[in-house]
Chain A
Amino acid sequence: MTRYFTKDHEWIAVEGSEATVGITHYAQSQLGDITFVEVPAIHATVGKGDSASVVDSVKAASDVYAPVSGTVTAVNAALEDQPELVNSEAEGEGWLWKMTLSDPAELAGLMDEAAYQTFVAEL
């Protein structure tokens, strides 16, 4: 499994043509207490960069963009009752949706973990 990151602070963990998407630890720390997550519809088709989900914190609502194009295959039902999982387990149990990739070549434009950490350190 390979994990990639976007400059908009999403992560995507890819295994073959399947992937899991969430927001990064850094993103959740900037948002503060998350109170609601609007996940995409299962079977929805998303294009790279489309707003696929919305994360609501006490402060504000923020779009989560699809890191790559594809089709949503599952959403994290646990977030309905425990949106705070995105705070406590942003890069694990707090995942947002799973998807199949329609164009794996899009992954080439994303950062690896080291590059993302460098990117965040400079913010």
Chain B
Amino acid sequence: MSDTYDIDLSDDHEGEPLGPLSLPLDDWHRARGGRMVDFAGYWMPVQFEGIIAEHLWTRTSAGFFDVSHMGQLYVSGEGVEAALEAVLPIDLATLPVGGVRYSLLLNDQGGILDDLMVTRWSTGFYLVVNGATKWDDIAHLREFLPDEVTLNHLEDSALFALQGPKAAEALEGLISGEQSLSSLSFMRGAAFKLGEIEAWISRSGYTGEDGFEISVPAENAAEIADLVCAQPQVKPIGLGARDSLRLEAGLPLYGHDMTDSVDPVSADLLFGINKRRRTEGGFPGADTILPLITNGAPTRRVGLLIEGRMAAREGAMVLLGDTEIGTVTSGGFSPSLERPIAMAFVATEHAAPGTSLSIDVRGRKLAATVAPMPFVPHCYYRKGAA
């Protein structure tokens, strides 16, 4: 057998002379049979019992993910709000304390340097950025934020996600705080005690399920992981299922479905540019992006449902008849739908749901249909709607 054609779990990380680094739960994962791979410069578990089983467990119960490779940043100081609005297309005036919002770090050409989550804390802003890009992000932010604004890299914090329909039930009995877990709706966060440990918990995630992202001191990481995984609803889940879950949820992966040469309109990430900023501009790349918002972009990120069982993966050519009209950026087998699915960038005129296309996989043409995303419905917890 060959080495794999592609294993798009490995993010690009150039110029790192050292081998992978270990995260706080390294021993914990190994002791539970996690198969460790080098991901974004860290040893991380790609799977425990198997990707399909872990995926389906998360969709029906609750999965515990270690995402401590991600960058946790804290930005504060005089004028922090205006300073962040100068580097991000976000509207902070509409973000309350405890509110979480998806945003984009853009270059001057309108390309996406990273996607991130921004939370307003009472004293400043808490940012979570991708692991593979965090060093570049920090350098970029330090360059463009004024001297009065301080950026702290919270390297002493671990980050976990607990995702799935039983995530709230599993976490409920473990936490105490000024507010109840049920008062926390999607994209809101608050400080809690998890066991005896101070934790910042937000109702957010990367699977399409209800769930939480949990920041705790790194020194308590194993204790928290033990506590959460002792709940009967919870099993540890590796990066493999994290990838298949986010693909089904239609959520793009940085470095694959968006890069520094892809704009947010093509990437279908306009929700990362808040309404006021779409008219006012004043963020990096606005000169390129605002006309694209008005006039449309020539290519668009779409979902593809693929006939048969053979998966199409990153780099595969998308065809209309014999004409190349796009490229697959993520693809794989959907454990929930039991069929291959993919994300691709295609010419906008062929991006309408229902359009019949094909994908060239090793010389074989697979029939594919443009499908709305998410492929599997989101099940977010929205107070009042729940």
Q: List residues of A whose CB falls within 8 A of some B CB.
A: 8-10, 23, 27, 32-33, 35-36, 38, 51, 54-56, 58-65, 83
Contact = CB atoms under 8 A, between A and B. Distances in A.
Nearest to A9: B1
Residue picked from A8, A9, A10, A32, most chain B C-beta under 10 Å: A32
Contact of A33 (B2, B4, B50, B362): B50
Top-10 shortest CB links A-B:
A60-B4, A63-B2, A36-B309, A35-B333, A58-B51, A33-B52, A60-B7, A61-B5, A9-B1, A62-B1
Contact of A58 (B1, B3, B5, B244): B244
A48 to B, nearest CB: 15
B2, B308, B313 interface centre (most CB from chain A within 10 Å): B2
Interface string B325-343: 0000000110100001000
Given A36-B311, A83-B309, A62 B5 contact: yes
A71 to B, nearest CB: 21
Interface of A is mostly: strand
A85 B53 CA distance: 16
22 contacts: A8-B1, A10-B1, A27-B1, A32-B50, A32-B240, A33-B50, A35-B309, A36-B311, A36-B340, A38-B310, A56-B310, A56-B333, A58-B51, A58-B335, A59-B4, A59-B46, A59-B332, A60-B5, A61-B313, A62-B2, A62-B4, A65-B2
A44 B50 CA distance: 34
A23 B313 contact: no
Nearest to A61: B5
A36 B1 CA distance: 15
Interface in B1-50: 1-7, 9, 46-47, 50
A55 B362 CA distance: 13
Main secondary structure of the interface of B (DSSP, over half): loop
Nearest to B364: A38
Contacts of A36: 308-311, 333, 340
Contacts of B1: 8-10, 23, 27, 55, 62-65
Contacts, number: 72
B361 to A, nearest CB: 8
Contacts of B53: 33
Contact of A61 (B4, B47, B244): B4
Contact of A59 (B9, B308, B310, B362): B9
Contacts of B7: 59-60
B4 A58 contact: no
Nearest to A24: B1
Contacts of B332: 58-59
A8 B1 CA distance: 5
A32 B47 contact: yes
Given A58-B332, A61-B4, A61-B313, 11 more contacts: A9-B1, A32-B50, A32-B51, A33-B51, A33-B333, A36-B309, A56-B311, A56-B333, A58-B333, A59-B4, A62-B2
A96 B310 CA distance: 16
Interface string B277-309: 000000000000000000000000000000011
B359 to A, nearest CB: 13
A9 B50 CA distance: 20
A59 B51 contact: yes
Nearest to A36: B309
A36 B51 CA distance: 15
Contacts of B335: 33, 58
Tell which of B6, B47, B52 has the most Cβ of chain A within 10 Å.
B52
A58 B52 contact: yes
A9 B2 CA distance: 9
Contacts of B308: 36
A64 B333 CA distance: 19
